[in-house]
Amino acid sequence: MKSLKMKLIYRKHKKAILGTLGAVLLAGLVFFFSYFHVTKVEVMGTSRYTDEQVKEMALQGAFTDNSVLAVLLHSRVDVEGVPFVEGFYITRLSHNSICISVREKKAVGCIPYLDSYIYFDRNGIFIESSHTRDELVPFFDGIEVSHVIEGEKLPIKGSSVLTTAVALSTIFQKNDAIPDHIEFDTSYQITLTYGDIRVMLGKDEYLEDKMTRVSAILPKLSGKKGILHLENVNDNSKTITFEQDLGEDGVIEDVDTAAAYENAVANWHGGYDLEGDYTGEGEYDQNGNYVGSRPTEESIAANGSWLGGYMEDGSYTGYGQLDKDGNYVGPNPNETSEDGSEEELEDYSEDYSEDYNDSGYDGYDEEY
């Protein structure tokens, strides 16, 4: 009888102990999942994907909302099926916040291959393929490969082409001037395309110098069409020419000739003859300085899109190489020298000025 009572007491104590342990464990679990519940997620290391996209890709499966278990279960060194991503690394910032670090594959360029775009790194390793083009990666045309195997070096024809492509990609990123298209011809001459402007770089020489000048000139060519020639830029020559496209009637398009005429007339200070008498049509100012003939609607229209004719003091002479705002625009491309040849300005100064003034850029010429 006594033994039976002891057994009953033991069972009661055992149940109480187990109940207490269960309650403690349950309370611990509740505390663990509530205290370490993720309420904030930071994302770093990617320029291709939004924070929300990264969260969806990295935080898949159970316990992603727990700052302890997410770190243990969801950091992935090797990721498959996510373009340009090698891995996700999750770290705990606090009890309720985590950070997802994205390790991206660094593509320096892409080339067309069959119906896809092949992306490669600075070592020429094929790292990704896609049916759509990433506009943030330089697109090279003229780089030939016989076959491609992901993870292996591309068998690029031409021993120096890869070196040139990597150098250009680095310069583009540095100058924030990624072109729409980069082309190597059969002689590996380089041509860049920026909208309606084609930039002829020539051979793989002085690329840093050439691209510095391209970055400075392109804003001044906004709205124009044509070819910017830098093939002859070297240590001894800084000659740069711009060959502007003509309209169907042989006149450069998109110019408000009425406004240009009004500005020219307002800033023309002539009307005096050689004797100092005012005739209204004389080509001299009151101080006897030659200021050109009086502008007419016909003469302005004949200039095409050239908005020059102004001098440094803002006066209009018809032959000045500045526009009304004082920006250098070069000589009138619609006029030729006496022997019929096209003019060309030389010596693009090393001290380039963004406004193309005399202290800096004084050498790109619009020629046809």
Three-state SS string over 258-324 comes to HHHHHHHHHHCCCEECCCCCEEEEECECCCCCECCCCCCHHHHHCCCCCCCEECCCCCEEEEECECC
- Is 266 a domain residue? no
Q: Which domain holds residue 98?
A: 40-104
Residue 96 near residue 39 (C-beta atoms within 8 A) = yes
Residue 356 near residue 348 (C-beta atoms within 8 A) = no
φ/ψ of 247, rounded to 5, equals -75, 180
Q: What is the dihedral of CA 167, 173, 174, 177, to 10 degrees?
A: 100
User: Would you place residue 2 in the very low, low, confident or very high pLDDT band (cuts 50, 70, 90)?
Assistant: low
Reference 108, options 157, 198, 169, 183; nearest CA is 169
Asked if residue 103 has pLDDT above 50, the reply is: yes
- Is 265 a domain residue? no
DSSP character string of 72-112? HHH-BSS--SSTTEEEEEEEEEETTEEEEEEEE----EEEE
Distances (CA, A) of 148 to 33, 124, 132, 155, 184: 48, 11, 18, 7, 20
Query: Based on the domain organization, do 219 and 365 belong to the same domain?
Result: yes
Query: Based on the domain organization, do 111 and 93 belong to the same domain?
Result: no
Q: Is 186 helix (H, G, I), strand (E, B) or coil?
A: coil
The pTM of this model reads 0.53
Q: Is 130 helix (H, G, I), strand (E, B) or coil?
A: strand
Query: Based on the domain organization, do 53 and 77 belong to the same domain?
Result: yes
φ/ψ of 83, rounded to 5, equals -55, 135
Q: What is the pLDDT of residue 354?
A: 36
Q: Is 365 helix (H, G, I), strand (E, B) or coil?
A: strand
- Residues with Cβ within 8 Å of 254's Cβ and at least 6 positions away in sequence, in order, are 223, 305
Q: What is the mean pLDDT of residues 39-54?
A: 89
pLDDT per position as a tens digit, 58-101:
888 888 888 888 888 888 766 777 778 888 889 999 989 999 99
Query: Based on the domain organization, do 307 and 196 belong to the same domain?
Result: yes
User: Would you place residue 168 in the very low, low, confident or very high pLDDT band (cuts 50, 70, 90)?
Assistant: very high
Query: Based on the domain organization, do 12 and 69 belong to the same domain?
Result: no
Asked if residue 106 has pLDDT above 70, the reply is: yes
Query: Based on the domain organization, do 182 and 116 belong to the same domain?
Result: yes
Cα separation of 285 and 278, whole Å? 9
Residue with tokens 């020429």: 124
Query: Based on the domain organization, do 244 and 199 belong to the same domain?
Result: yes
Reference 129, options 194, 179, 81; nearest CA is 81
- Is 343 a domain residue? yes
Cα separation of 265 and 296, whole Å? 8
- Residues with Cβ within 8 Å of 222's Cβ and at least 6 positions away in sequence, in order, are none
pLDDT per position as a tens digit, 188-234:
899 999 999 999 999 999 999 999 889 888 888 887 888 999 998 88
Q: What is the pLDDT of residue 12?
A: 66
Query: Based on the domain organization, do 61 and 73 belong to the same domain?
Result: yes
- DSSP-assigned letter for residue 246: P
Query: Based on the domain organization, do 80 and 213 belong to the same domain?
Result: no
Cα separation of 200 and 69, whole Å? 56
Residue 224 near residue 198 (C-beta atoms within 8 A) = no
Q: Count structural domains, the chain.
A: 4
- Is 155 a domain residue? yes
Cα separation of 204 and 145, whole Å? 20
Share of the chain above pLDDT 90, in %: 17
Query: Based on the domain organization, do 116 and 233 belong to the same domain?
Result: no
Q: Is 195 helix (H, G, I), strand (E, B) or coil?
A: coil
- Is 277 a domain residue? no
- Is 269 a domain residue? no
Beta carbons within 10 angstroms of residue 153's beta carbon: 14
Residue 106 near residue 122 (C-beta atoms within 8 A) = yes
Query: Based on the domain organization, do 88 and 151 belong to the same domain?
Result: no
- Is 298 a domain residue? no
Q: What is the mean pLDDT of residues 140-169?
A: 87
- Is 292 a domain residue? no
Query: Based on the domain organization, do 87 and 69 belong to the same domain?
Result: yes
Indicate the residue among 164, 188, 212 that finishes a domain. 188
Q: What is the pLDDT of residue 156?
A: 85
